[in-house]
């Protein structure tokens, strides 16, 4: 097939890498891709979605896969569908599940899906009254997309009110904060569960855990994610079953009733409290770094999974997952997540250990290529991904690979998957 992948991160690289390893040969295009995706296919640069759709038609693109949330919320899927192209991802209407926390919470409430008690409001007084009746900590969330920075967990009522006022006035997040959600704090452990959806049918992938904070032991500021592992032993059949029955099915039914059937990747942010899965939020695309381990864990060809997802045929697919564990360690540049760093050349040692060679790979993210050399240019530069018959084996291999990859200022967390190994 001719396949177009939208995005430029490690997530999109890992989708391309998995497709390039399939038995069937494919031509892969990335828009815009990064300095390493050009080794898997062809990078193109057409930013306007209407022009991109025309290009896709002219070049007989048979499947388009959208990585990040912004183009989904902006309606790239709608434009591709108007052009009779096959595209895997939600419409802009369905992408509101991520684009608006108010919309998402109202859907959860309307269809009786378990979530933290909340109010949504645009009014300061209403927010204050609600806060006055809560116990701390109190969670305050901006409605719109805030690149992972729009959630404040306040330790006092005053802090919660301040956060609410700063959001509502527009001073924290501009327009994205002029509606807010105030909700109760859930005390439990977090999971990422991904369902591949075609509007009616779905396939659930192994649950993963991300590591959001920059420092070991979950310290320091939030990042895009410093590492992930899957499947996590913190999930069991009971939790999967509850998530399917109480969350995925009612959401797909509900979105159909809303006139916005959900096609694409439903990323379910779950807090498990006393063995009960409570929904923190939805995202409408893969998590990055979770994608980088889930793609290689799939035995089912990724292109087939997404194609069937895009053409309402998931009921005809039996999904197969490898009986292995995956661990991904993000290698970031020195100043991440505070500021950018000088470009630095990336050197990968020749890997002689067969065990490492056969059970690891690199997923490239913030890199550029000049004169055939790779340079670290972006916050999260690359991921060292390891596989094995246990989480420990997978982790040890991922870290062994980390030791073979060099660039000035490289920074990693050394405790990825600690939750599963304690
Ligand atoms: N109600 C809550 N109780 C406890 N922790 C929460 C709650 N809501 C969010 N969080 C924490 O804040 C993080 C970010 O919140 P989330 O709703 O996922 O927003 P976003 O990913 O858009 O920033 C979550 O991953 C979780 O760790
Ligand atoms: Mg989140």
**C-beta 281 within 6 A of ligand 1:** yes
Contact 319, 203 (CB under 8 A): yes
Structural element, H or E, at residue 65: strand 63-66
Percentage of the chain lying above the pLDDT 90 cut: 98
Structure tokens at 40: 């898997």
> Could you tell me the pLDDT band of residue 294, with boundaries at 50, 70 and 90?
very high
- DSSP secondary structure, 229-282, as one string: EES-TT--HHHHHHHIIIIIHHHHHHHHHTT---EEEEEEEEEEETTEEEEEEE
Residue 234, classified by CB atoms within 10 Å of its CB into exposed (0-12), middle (13-18) or buried (19+), is middle
Mean pLDDT over residues 312-327, rounded?
97
- Dmax (CA) for the chain in angstroms is 65
According to CATH, where is 3.90.600.10 located in the chain? Answer: 325-421
The rounded Cα 366 to chain-centroid distance in angstroms is: 16
Mean pLDDT over residues 112-138, rounded?
97
DSSP strand pairing (27-32 vs 2-7) = parallel
Task: Please give the pLDDT value at position 12.
Answer: 98
> Could you tell me the pLDDT band of residue 360, with boundaries at 50, 70 and 90?
very high
- DSSP secondary structure, 318-377, as one string: ---B-S-EEEEEEEE-TTTTTS----EE-EEPPP--HHHHHHEEEEE-SEEEETTEEEE-
Mean pLDDT over residues 287-305, rounded?
98
Cα separations (Å) of 405 from 224, 347, 411, 414? Answer: 21, 6, 11, 15
Mutate to test the pocket of ligand 1, among 96, 97, 153, 186 (most ligand atoms within 8 A of CB): 153
Task: Please give the pLDDT value at position 4.
Answer: 98
Mutate to test the pocket of ligand 1, among 281, 283, 288 (most ligand atoms within 8 A of CB): 281
- CA 122 – CA 125 distance, rounded (Å): 9
Contact 250, 111 (CB under 8 A): yes
Ligand with the closest atom to the CA of 212: 1
**C-beta 140 within 6 A of ligand 1:** no
Check pLDDT > 90 for residue 367: yes
7 φ/ψ sector (left φ>0, alpha ψ -120 to 50, else beta): left
Mean pLDDT over residues 276-298, rounded?
97
- Tell me the per-residue pLDDT of 205-262, one tens digit each, with 9 for 90 and over: 999 999 999 999 999 998 999 999 999 999 999 999 999 999 999 999 999 999 999 9
How far is ligand 1, taken at its centre, from the CA of residue 280, in Å? Answer: 6
Ligand 1 atom closest to residue 184's alpha carbon, by position in its atom list: 1
For residue 32, whether the previous peptide bond is cis, meaning omega lies within 30 degrees of 0, is yes
DSSP strand pairing (276-283 vs 263-273) = antiparallel
Task: Please give the pLDDT value at position 75.
Answer: 98
Check pLDDT > 90 for residue 103: yes
Task: Please give the pLDDT value at position 149.
Answer: 86
According to CATH, where is 3.30.470.20 located in the chain? Answer: 189-316
- Tell me the per-residue pLDDT of 127-173, one tens digit each, with 9 for 90 and over: 999 999 999 999 999 999 998 889 999 999 999 999 999 999 999 99
Ligand 1 atom closest to residue 148's alpha carbon, by position in its atom list: 23
**C-beta 273 within 6 A of ligand 1:** no
Task: Please give the pLDDT value at position 378.
Answer: 79
Instruction: Reduce the DSSP state of residue 147 to 3 states and report it.
Output: coil
Mean pLDDT over residues 410-421, rounded?
96
The pTM of the full predicted model, rounded to 2 decimals, is: 0.96
Cα separations (Å) of 197 from 160, 181, 284? Answer: 36, 27, 10
Structure tokens at 152: 């404040």
Task: Name the class of domain 325-421.
Answer: alpha beta
Task: Please give the pLDDT value at position 148.
Answer: 83
Task: Please give the pLDDT value at position 422.
Answer: 83
Cα separations (Å) of 359 from 213, 261, 349, 406? Answer: 27, 39, 16, 19
Q: What is the DSSP letter of 210?
A: E
Structure tokens at 274: 């006393």
Buried residues in 137-161 as b, exposed as e (16+ CB within 10 A): bbbbbbbbbbeeebbbebeebebbb
Structure tokens at 217: 């032991």
Mean pLDDT over residues 52-71, rounded?
98
Task: Please give the pLDDT value at position 417.
Answer: 97
Structure tokens at 180: 């807010």
Q: What is the DSSP letter of 36?
A: T
Mean pLDDT of the residues in the chain: 97
Mean pLDDT over residues 288-308, rounded?
98
**C-beta 148 within 6 A of ligand 1:** yes
Instruction: Reduce the DSSP state of residue 86 to 3 states and report it.
Output: coil
Domain 2-91, CATH among 3.40.30.10, 3.40.50.20, 3.30.1600.10, 1.10.3720.10: 3.40.50.20
According to CATH, where is 3.40.50.20 located in the chain? Answer: 2-91
**C-beta 269 within 6 A of ligand 1:** yes
Instruction: Reduce the DSSP state of residue 410 to 3 states and report it.
Output: coil
Check pLDDT > 90 for residue 366: yes
According to CATH, where is 3.30.1490.20 located in the chain? Answer: 123-178
**C-beta 327 within 6 A of ligand 1:** no
- Tell me the per-residue pLDDT of 26-59, one tens digit each, with 9 for 90 and over: 999 999 999 999 999 999 999 999 999 999 999 9
Ligand with the closest atom to the CA of 182: 1
- CATH number for the domain formed by residue range(s) 189-316: 3.30.470.20
Q: Which CATH superfamily is domain 123-178 in?
A: ATP-grasp fold, A domain (3.30.1490.20)
Ramachandran angles phi, psi of 149, nearest 5°? -115, 5
């Amino acid at each position: 097939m001719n396949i177009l992948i939208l995005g430029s991160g490690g997530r999109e690289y890992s989708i391309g890498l998995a497709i390039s390893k399939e038995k069937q040969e494919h031509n892969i295009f990335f828009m815009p891709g990064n300095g390493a995706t050009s080794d898997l296919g062809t990078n193109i640069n057409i930013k306007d979605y209407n022009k991109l759709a025309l290009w896709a038609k002219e070049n007989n693109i048979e499947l388009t896969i959208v990585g990040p949330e912004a183009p989904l919320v902006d309606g790239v899927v709608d434009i591709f569908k108007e052009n009779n192209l096959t595209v895997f991802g939600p419409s802009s209407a369905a992408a509101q599940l991520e684009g608006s926390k108010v919309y998402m919470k109202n859907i959860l409430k309307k269809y009786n899906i378990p979530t933290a008690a909340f109010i949504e409001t645009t009014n300061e007084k209403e927010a204050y009254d609600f806060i006055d009746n809560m116990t701390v900590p109190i969670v305050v969330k901006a409605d719109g997309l805030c690149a992972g920075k729009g959630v404040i967990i306040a330790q006092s009522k005053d802090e919660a009110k301040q956060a609410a006022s700063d959001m509502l006035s527009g001073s924290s997040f501009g327009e994205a904060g002029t509606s807010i959600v105030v909700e109760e704090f859930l005390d439990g452990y977090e999971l990422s569960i991904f369902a591949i959806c075609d509007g009616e049918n779905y396939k659930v992938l192994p649950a993963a855990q991300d590591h959001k904070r920059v420092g070991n032991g979950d310290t320091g500021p939030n990042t895009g994610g410093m590492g992930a592992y899957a499947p996590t032993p913190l999930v069991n059949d009971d939790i999967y079953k509850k998530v399917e029955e109480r969350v995925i099915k009612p959401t797909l039914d509900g979105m159909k009733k809303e006139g916005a059937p959900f096609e694409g990747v439903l990323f379910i942010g779950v807090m498990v409290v006393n063995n009960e899965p409570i929904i923190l939020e939805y995202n409408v695309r893969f998590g990055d770094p979770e994608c980088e381990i889930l793609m290689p864990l799939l035995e089912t060809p990724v292109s087939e999974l997404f194609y069937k997802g895009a053409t309402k045929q998931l009921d005809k697919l039996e999904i197969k997952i490898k009986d292995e564990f995956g661990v991904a360690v993000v290698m970031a540049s020195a100043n991440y997540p505070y500021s950018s760093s000088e470009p630095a050349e990336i050197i990968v040692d020749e890997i002689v250990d067969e065990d490492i060679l056969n059970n690891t790979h690199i997923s490239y993210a913030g890199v550029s290529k000049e004169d055939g050399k790779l340079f670290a240019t972006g916050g999260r530069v690359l991921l060292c991904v390891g596989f094995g018959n246990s989480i420990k084996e997978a982790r040890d291999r991922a870290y062994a690979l980390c030791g073979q990859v060099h660039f000035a200022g490289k920074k990693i967390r050394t405790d990825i998957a600690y939750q599963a190994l304690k």
